Amino acid sequence: MKPPRPPRRPPSVTPSPRGSSGRSTPLDGPEADELRALVSNVKDKLVQADDFGQVMDAFFEQLGTDLHILTKGVRIDEQPLLGALVPMAEQMAARPLHVKEMKLYRLREHRLSHGMLYFAGWLGVVLLFEDIGMGVLAMSQADLQGPTLYGRFRFLATERPARPLN
């Protein structure tokens, strides 16, 4: 015989899902204008910042804990970016790195791509703003014992794709 199920909590007491920061994550995304403003704020920080940790903090605080944004992106083919990001990551880590996996997601309407890079012993987070041709890469050792390393980069599309990306 099964034990009785506990009563369901009413929706007003049901806890909100948690983002990577542990803060409550809204289920409904911000309005389109508000979202554009948040993306623009992160982009402005990238352009103006001397401390790229502020850029990543802004991304995670304003966008990276929003389920609406994180689930809205479309997975993109990251192979073209490996040739640029891996040498940069190796330069930041001051040693050769072996890429295990890279996952990037694109928010087409914001011309923003974001994602993770997994190296043997290292983790990376990347943001790419297509409209300004600029991005930031944050790297830390997988055990999170060392400092987080940051690098801002510029990029330029050298070929026009035969079909629109995503």
Counting the structural domains of the chain, the total is 1
Note whether residue 10 is domain-resident.
no
Task: Single out the residue of 24, 58, 61 nearest to residue 129, CA to CA.
Answer: 58
Note whether residue 164 is domain-resident.
no
Note whether residue 9 is domain-resident.
no
Note whether residue 159 is domain-resident.
no
What is the Cα–Cα distance from 158 to 34, expressed in whole angstroms?
Answer: 33
Residue 13 is classified by DSSP as: G
Residues of the chain scoring pLDDT < 70: 1-31, 64-71, 157-166
Note whether residue 145 is domain-resident.
yes
Place of tokens 């034990």: 3
Instruction: Judge whether 148 and 140 are in contact, CB under 8 Å.
Output: yes
pLDDT at res. 2 = 65
Note whether residue 69 is domain-resident.
yes
pLDDT at res. 15 = 43
pLDDT at res. 96 = 93
Instruction: Judge whether 60 and 21 are in contact, CB under 8 Å.
Output: yes
Domain hosting 93: range is 17-154
Note whether residue 6 is domain-resident.
no
Note whether residue 51 is domain-resident.
yes
